[in-house]
Amino acid sequence: MREKIFKVDTLIRLQQVIWYIILMYFAALAALFMLDFEGVLELAGYGIIFIIATTALRLVVMAEEFRKSGLRRFWALSYLLILILAGIVIGDYLL
Amino acid sequence: MLDFSLYLLCGLVAGLLGGYLGLGGGIVMMPFLTVIAGVNVKAAVPVSITAIVVNSLAASSEYLKKGMVDLELVVILSVFMVLGNITGSLLSEHIPGDYTRLMLTVIVVYAAFSLLKGRRTTERMTFADNRARYLLITTVVAFVTGALSAVVGIGGGVVILPVLYLVIGLPLSTARGTTSLMIGFSAAAATTVYFLNGQIEPVIVSGVILGIIVGAKLGGFLGTMAKPLVIKLMLFSVLLYLAFRLAYEPVRELL
């Protein structure tokens, strides 16, 4: 039963930290919107970049947990998924 | 100010319902944004997709804590759904969209009633228990679902959830948790593309994200304690609504 070794604690903790950061960041953005702050649109863009980057990070953490559990096939599939998603973005950017 | 509050409310409602049912929330958000908040469809789609990523992050933590996510299935489904999505996008010009929509309507209505009727599942069954038996069917189903989503232009969550429950035979709770996590990964690529093309409206997305991050957390928490019958009835309503949306345009054109 190799699956029993698989630990989701790291993934849960990471997701909770990201949740707090996004909540605080976008709550601050909302306040800045109300105050008509000048650079607020640019800051919103950074927020979206953070969301995208942390999604990739979550996938990497999941992949590494698969590796630690000895589930090599799922480890490889996780990185394949990252590659496919990156490929879609790069493909769209280049074409 | 009023607009921003509307976007925030939209995110809150979509997050609550999406998190509760294990869906992305796009099916709630799109009509809310376009009809109530008055956002045009071209601007609403990128916002909705970005919000799905956040919804998945917030709601899936609750499902993960309760052990209601099949992570192996998340990876397999995500890979094949994304591949299906790419294939669907490439083929969409050659496939008659109206017929596909009508065909999918029939399947969705069938799934809605089957879901209500329920099926016998072992509450603790996971993909790993029956991997050999389900591997092929899982990959095929994920690929086809991804392709259909791309051709018809609907989110993956509302389609894949009944599939996990009715075809693969996962318990409804695990099916919701698994869908909740995987939809975020498949939506992330689309979000990046929209962002690079400058199609995400910062004001709308900021309001929606703030609403959805709170709503989805609460929805995910409530969803882990929800009674299966309540979930079934709500999913039944969502699927019937989806069927109506799918069939509306082609039927109107036929008449």
On the question of pLDDT at B172 being above 60, the answer is yes
Q: Among B68-72, B128-132, B189-193, B247-251, whose mean pLDDT is lowest? A: B128-132
Residues B154-167 have pLDDT tens digits of: 667 878 888 888 88
Q: What is the ipTM of this complex?
A: 0.89
Nearest to B59 by CA among B188, B156, B180: B180
* Residue B178 amino acid letter: T
Whether B26 contacts B52, CB under 8 Å: yes
Nearest to A7 by CA among A68, A78, A92: A68
Contact flag A22-B54 (C-beta cutoff 8 Å): yes
Whether B186 contacts B66, CB under 8 Å: no
Whether A69 contacts A10, CB under 8 Å: no
* Domain assignment of residue B165, given as a range: 2-254
The A residues from 1 to 60 touching B (CB cutoff 8 Å) are 3, 6, 8, 11-12, 15-16, 18-19, 22-23, 26-27, 29-30, 33-34, 40-41, 44-45, 47-49, 51-52, 54-56, 58-59
Global confidence as pTM: 0.84
Nearest to A20 by CA among B58, B248, B135: B58
Whether B161 contacts B182, CB under 8 Å: no
Q: How far apart are CA B188 and CA B225, in angstroms?
A: 28
Which residue in A has a C-alpha nearest to residue B210's C-alpha?
Answer: A26
Residues B79-120 have pLDDT tens digits of: 998 888 888 877 777 777 677 778 778 878 887 887 777 665
Residue B219 sits at φ, ψ, to 5 deg, of: -60, -40
Domain count for chain B, please give it: 1
CB-defined contacts A:B, below 8 A = 128
Contact flag A30-B64 (C-beta cutoff 8 Å): no
Residue written as tokens 């950017």?
A93
Q: Which residues of B touch A48 (CB under 8 A)?
A: 50, 191, 195, 200, 205
Q: Which residues of A touch B82 (CB under 8 A)?
A: 81, 84-85, 88
Whether B119 contacts B165, CB under 8 Å: yes
Confirm or reject contact between B217 and chain A (CB < 8 A): yes
Contact flag B72-A16 (C-beta cutoff 8 Å): no
Contact flag A44-B4 (C-beta cutoff 8 Å): no
Task: Report DSSP state, residue B33.
Answer: I
Q: How many CA atoms lie within 13 A of B28 on its CB side?
A: 30
Tokens representing B89 are 């996008």
Q: What is the CA radius of gyration of chain B?
A: 17
Which residue in B has a C-alpha nearest to residue A80's C-alpha?
Answer: B79
